[in-house]
Each structure stands twice: as C-alpha cells, then as structure tokens.
Amino acid sequence: ISDIADQVERELVSREEIDRKIAETAKQISHDYAGRDLLLVGVLKGAASTLVALADALSIDVEIDYVKLSSYGAGTESSGTVTVRNDLSCDVRGRNVLVVEDIVDTGRTLAWFCKELDRRGAASVETFALFDKPARRTIDFHPKYQGILIPDVFAVGFGLDYAEKYRNLDSVAVLKPSVYSKETNA
C-alpha cells in the first residue's frame, strides 16, 4: 500500500525476511508434525496474514480454525485476563494444536490461551509468533517456534495494527511519532 508512505518512518522488517522466517518455520513444522493430526489456530485479527502465509508454505495437510481474543486494558493488566470474543468452531479435545500469532508482546494472550486449550483437553499445544518483542514481556513465555525479534517500537504491517489501520501493509514499518502522538484517530 502506497498511500501511507507519509506516515511511515522506516521499514523495520522486509517482506523478504518475513518470507524467509515463514518458509523456515513451515519446514520445521511440516517435519515435526509429519504423519500427525494438526489443527492450526489463528488468533484474530492480527494473525490472519501470518496464518495464511504459514499454511501456504506447509508441506503437510492441516485443519485451520480461528479465535478472536481480547485482553483487558492497563487497569487489570496484572490479572492477565483475556476473554474469548469469537470462539473456535471446533472441539480441541485430543487434537494437536498449533496457535499462530502475529506477535508476542507481554505474553499474556498466548499464555492465557495455551492454558485454556489445555483446560479444553487438547492433546498438545504449541505456539508460533511471527514477531517477538522480548523487551515488553511481563509473563515468562517463549513460543516453541520463535519469530523475528523486534525492538520496542511502534511497528505496523503484516497484521500488526495501530488503531485498526496498517494491517495490510505487506512488510513491517515503524510509524512516524506524529501519527501515534495524535489524541484522536477518527
């Protein structure tokens, strides 16, 4: 998308680097789950681009489902409360589940959802987050398939949004401070 060029400070992760990480991860996952049942679960909305790209790059057949999660704001941050906004359409009991995320930040969303999948009786639960901001972690959480490490900056694109915008940027960019320092995004 070219109409946001004036809002972008610089590119942070190129599309080539994203494609390389996804190809490498898909190869590893295809190997690890060869001959086994696998349910890929994308966490909406951010993970949509990553899930499609990963599924495309796998050499094994998988089932795909989605869940929409939302975590509470700063007020209850310490509780790590996450709620299911739109649930999975299938029962995970006895399934091997791989949760796919665009990014792991504080770690709350993935830590909570993995526990929830365990509680629902999944046979195994693993995680892949395409991007990882370790500087923001408040919960000691490490995805099994580690993504691209990024610094604690305002990154958007490839699923990452700012106020619901910029998700369809095909690489990851840093926004200009003038964009997010505005009080309103109407």
Q: Which residues are catalytic?
A: 105
State which of residues 101, 127, 155, 174 lies at the interface with ligand PRP (CB under 6 A). 101
Task: State both tokens at 138.
Answer: 């408040």
State which of residues 102, 132, 155, 179 lies at the interface with ligand PRP (CB under 6 A). 102
Nearer to ligand PRP (CB atom), residue 71 or residue 146? 71
State which of residues 25, 49, 109, 127 lies at the interface with ligand PRP (CB under 6 A). 109
Taking the complex as a whole, how short is the minimal distance between the CB of residue 85 and Mg ion, in angstroms? 12
Which window, 68-76, 137-145, 156-164, 177-185, contacts Mg ion (CB under 5 A)? 156-164
Residue with tokens 């009991």: 93
In this structure, the strands spanning 96-104 and 124-132 are: parallel
CB-based contacts of 35, cutoff 8 Å, min separation 6: none
Task: State both tokens at 133.
Answer: 């901001």
State which of residues 7, 30, 96, 106 lies at the interface with ligand PRP (CB under 6 A). 106
Contact 38, 96 (CB under 8 A): yes
Taking the complex as a whole, how short is the minimal distance between the CB of residue 36 and ligand PRP, in angstroms? 26
Three-class DSSP category at 60: coil
How large is the angle between the packed helices 15-32 and 48-57, nearest 10 degrees? 60
Which window, 10-18, 31-39, 51-59, 154-162, contacts Mg ion (CB under 5 A)? 154-162
State which of residues 11, 57, 64, 71 lies at the interface with ligand PRP (CB under 6 A). 71
Q: Residue 123 — left, alpha, or beta (φ > 0 → left; ψ -120 to 50 → alpha)?
A: alpha
DSSP state of 142: -
Report which residue's Cβ sits closest to Mn ion.
46
Q: Which does 171 bind (CB under 5 to 8 A by kind): Mn ion, ligand PRP, Mg ion, none?
A: none
Q: In whole angstroms, what is the distance from residue 62 CA to residue 11 CA? A: 33
In the complex, the residues that contact Mg ion under the rule CB under 5 A are: 161
Binding residues for ligand PRP (CB under 6 A): 43, 45-46, 70-71, 101-109, 161
